[in-house]
Structure 1
């Protein structure tokens, strides 16, 4: 399915406990927005932790990104997911080391999108 509308993506990152989640958030926004093959701007927001993290094992962080297309060309959702994930993994590994993992999924259902909007804006639905 092709789209030119803004898309919400959920990014799950696993990193060492000493890595600042806000540095990860900034790196994700920079990596996605400046990738040469993606003509996309990204607004990234960190999702709140739902459970306490162990002190020594890798921490899992969740982020919500709104991807807006700069050139207006249609994108296939699977291709977009693959390219955003590759850009995120490459940038995070370059910055924080090889132990960092990243997984991207596009929010497709209405329930997923409403949760994403709550995380991003603090409101139950899109406010324009």
Structure 2
């Protein structure tokens, strides 16, 4: 597959993930329906992010740079925050704000690719 296709799928995955995280704010009266939709969107997003990201990395045949490892760690942290918010251990608004900040850091890591000499 063409690298640009992987990049497009990767961005679509990020959109799905953030739509799911944003859906946390809607949890309230229709908790069951919204909770299911939030889980579906987040799951699709995470799957697309992982498959497209790993596919692109394999296509480019590079060693795993530090920025990529940090990006994966941040995604894992975001998953944990999402799960904690769904279990009401973290306030949904706080989870959304933390996710937005971490998402911005991930975007910077992808675009700036720091730590490469």
Scaled by the length of structure 1, the TM-score of the pair is 0.29
Q: Counting helix residues as a fraction of each chain, which structure ranks higher?
A: 2
Q: Counting strand residues as a fraction of each chain, which structure ranks higher?
A: 1
Scaled by the length of structure 2, the TM-score of the pair is 0.31
Larger Rg computed on CA atoms: 2
